[in-house]
A and B are shown apart, each in its own frame.
Chain A
Amino acid sequence: SQQGEEDPQALSIQEGENATMNCSYKTSINNLQWYRQNSGRGLVHLILIRSNEREKHSGRLRVTLDTSKKSSSLLITASRAADTASYFCATDAGGADGLTFGKGTHLIIQP
Chain B
Amino acid sequence: DAGITQSPRHKVTETGTPVTLRCHQTENHRYMYWYRQDPGHGLRLIHYSYGVKDTDKGEVSDGYSVSRSKTEDFLLTLESATSSQTSVYFCAISNRDRGPHEQYFGPGTRLTVT
The segment from A10-18, A60-68, A70-78, A100-108 found at the interface with B is A100-108
Q: Which of B79-114 contact A (CB under 8 A)?
A: 90, 92, 94, 96, 100-108
For the complex, give the distance between the alpha carbons of A99 and B94 in Å: 10
Count of interface residues, chain A, beta-carbon cutoff 8 Å: 25
* Contact A43 B42, beta carbon cutoff 8 Å: no
Interface core residue of B100, B101, B104, B107 (most chain A CB under 10 Å)? B100
Contact B100 A45 (CB under 8 A): no
Determine the interface band of chain B, counting residues with CB < 8 A from chain A: 20 to 34
Q: Does B62 contact A (CB under 8 A)?
A: no
Contact A102 B31, CB 8 Å, known A42-B106, A97-B58: no
Interchain CA distance A100-B105 in the complex, whole Å: 14
Task: Tell me the chain A residues, 70-100 only, with Cβ under 8 Å from chain B.
Answer: 88, 90, 92, 96-100
Q: Does A103 contact B103, Cβ atoms closer than 8 Å? A: no
- B92 nearest CB across to chain A (Å): 8
Q: List B residues 40-69 near A (Cβ within 8 Å).
A: 40-45, 48, 50, 56, 58-59
Task: Tell me whether A98 and B48 are in contact (CB under 8 A).
Answer: yes
B11-42 toward A: CB 8 Å interface, digit per residue (1/0)? 00000000000000000000101010000111
**Known interface pairs A42-B105, A43-B90, A98-B92; 14 further A-B residue pairs with C-beta atoms within 8 A, sorted by A's residue number:** A1-B59, A2-B42, A30-B100, A41-B108, A43-B92, A45-B102, A88-B43, A96-B48, A97-B56, A98-B31, A98-B103, A101-B43, A103-B41, A104-B42
